[in-house]
Structure 1
Amino acid sequence: RVSVLDNRLSLSQELLDMVRVQAHGATVDALEQVVVWLVALCALIALFQLYGILAWNHSPLL
């Protein structure tokens, strides 16, 4: 009985480890996508700022 119970406990531990690794991988993927979107947003804001600076410098004085 003890060996059967030990075997089941070992199998449960392996399954839990697999689930933990899968969840960690999903979390890392989600964080990576957030970082990519934030970098893209920063680049877009920088382009708008650059356009604003260039347009301001080349605008005629009234």
Structure 2
Amino acid sequence: IMPAVDFRVPGGLSWDELSAALRIILASGKAVGLEVAIYNPRLDVDGSAGRGLADVMAVALGTAAPA
């Protein structure tokens, strides 16, 4: 689902799967950090991949992403 990366691999997570995984990981109380890697804004011409990523992260972290 993330076209804005330098090396795409088929069979990755959907937005819903990523959201569910993050919720489970963060709810465990064992997460001590979070890193977003490989997102390349030059490959995100219309910004939709970045917005999708920001939306998923905002939901997982329990906040509202800016509109």
TM-score calculated relative to the size of structure 2:
0.27
Tell which has more relative contact order, 1 or 2 (C-alpha 8 A, sep 6+).
2
TM-score calculated relative to the size of structure 1:
0.29
Q: Which structure shows the higher helix fraction?
A: 1
Q: Bigger radius of gyration, 1 or 2?
A: 1
